[in-house]
């Protein structure tokens, strides 16, 4: 293998919340071929977890058993594919995709500028921002299965819904062909600038967070419900409901994953009591709990 295999690697530095215990082993592939070869070496019984930029992800303090594959800085090919289509590998940050498409005079991908993750993560959860959703612009995807085989799949092969994508197969996203439309370059770039300015103005982009924590209930907004409950600024340990945007929980410096998860549960409890709405998490919570001893 040409990639890096790290044993008992702490995952906090790989997540946007800056929390998370160790993985039994973490693999950082050299390139796509190396990744496929590595996957083939794993036993059928080996648990495998994929991560990119580590946003929309809470890894518990006990860490992850099995193998974690990190595509950050890898699987980064992006190119025009003809007929207003763009080919993007799973490790490319969504913001880069939005900018590239705009520069090529292709529209409909501008919303990706507001998603703080990679295309792989966006495909996995049907990520959305500012009214757009990932799978609305998906033409085809490339997936890798547990045997290291790569296959082409169509959108109808998946059950896609709000912030959820389900497949009957054990496989992971490697790349996507985006279906876009020709448009005005300057208008597209202006839209991206406006979206980024809105994001900076309304979200705590200068503090460690995961992005939006809760899904928006139908016909409402999680942030509005949390704010109405009076929870802006409420903290448990080093985890705090953002004063800037109530659907964000920020790490004020010394949060543990347990602090964040406890705060998520507290917010759910209080919003249910106060507003009668059961908030569902958008963030993916994985790994094992452990007893954290304060220094």
pLDDT tens across 147-162, in order? 999 999 999 999 999 9
pLDDT tens across 237-272, in order? 999 999 999 999 999 999 999 999 999 999 999 999
Residue by residue, DSSP assigns 128-171 as EETTEEGGGGEEEEEEEETTS-EEEE-GGGSEEETTEEE-SS-E
Q: Which residues are catalytic?
A: 163, 212, 282
Architecture of the domain defined by 222-286? Alpha-Beta Complex (3.90)
Given this model, what pLDDT does residue 295 score? 37
User: Which residue intervals of 91-248 are DSSP H helices?
Assistant: 94-103, 119-125, 185-202, 222-228
Q: 149-158, 165-174, 191-200: which has the highest mean pLDDT?
A: 149-158
Architecture of the domain defined by 78-202? 2-Layer Sandwich (3.30)
Please state the domain extents for the chain. 4-70, 78-202, 222-286
Given this model, what pLDDT does residue 130 score? 83
Give 4-70's CATH code, choosing from 3.30.43.10, 2.60.40.420, 3.40.50.300, 3.30.110.30. Answer: 3.30.43.10
């Amino acid at each position: 293998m040409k990639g890096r295999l790290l044993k008992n690697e702490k995952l906090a530095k790989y997540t946007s919340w800056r929390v998370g215990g160790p993985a039994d082993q973490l693999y950082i592939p050299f390139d796509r071929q190396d990744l496929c070869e590595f996957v083939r070496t794993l036993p059928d019984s080996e648990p495998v977890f994929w991560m990119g930029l580590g946003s929309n992800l809470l890894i518990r303090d006990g860490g992850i058993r099995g193998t974690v594959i990190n595509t950050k800085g890898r699987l980064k090919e992006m190119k025009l594919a003809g007929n207003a289509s763009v080919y993007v590998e799973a490790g490319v940050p969504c913001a880069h995709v939005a900018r590239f498409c705009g520069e090529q005079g292709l529209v409909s991908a501008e919303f990706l500028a507001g998603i703080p993750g990679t295309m792989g993560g966006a495909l996995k959860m049907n990520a959305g921002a500012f009214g757009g959703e990932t799978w609305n612009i998906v033409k085809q995807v490339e997936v890798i299965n547990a045997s290291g085989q790569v296959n082409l799949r169509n959108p109808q092969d998946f059950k896609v819904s709000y912030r959820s994508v389900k497949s009957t197969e054990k496989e992971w996203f490697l790349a996507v062909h985006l279906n876009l439309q020709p448009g005005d370059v300057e208008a597209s770039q202006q839209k991206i600038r406006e979206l980024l300015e809105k994001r900076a103005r309304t979200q705590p982009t200068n503090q460690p967070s995961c992005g939006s924590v809760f899904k928006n209930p139908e016909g409402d907004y999680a942030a509005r419900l949390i704010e109405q409950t009076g929870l802006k600024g409420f903290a448990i340990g080093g985890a705090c409901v953002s004063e800037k945007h109530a659907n964000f929980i920020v790490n004020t410096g010394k949060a543990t994953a347990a602090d964040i998860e406890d705060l998520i549960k507290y917010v759910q409890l209080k919003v249910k009591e106060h507003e009668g709405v059961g908030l569902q998490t958008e963030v993916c919570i994985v790994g094992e709990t452990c007893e954290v001893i304060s220094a």
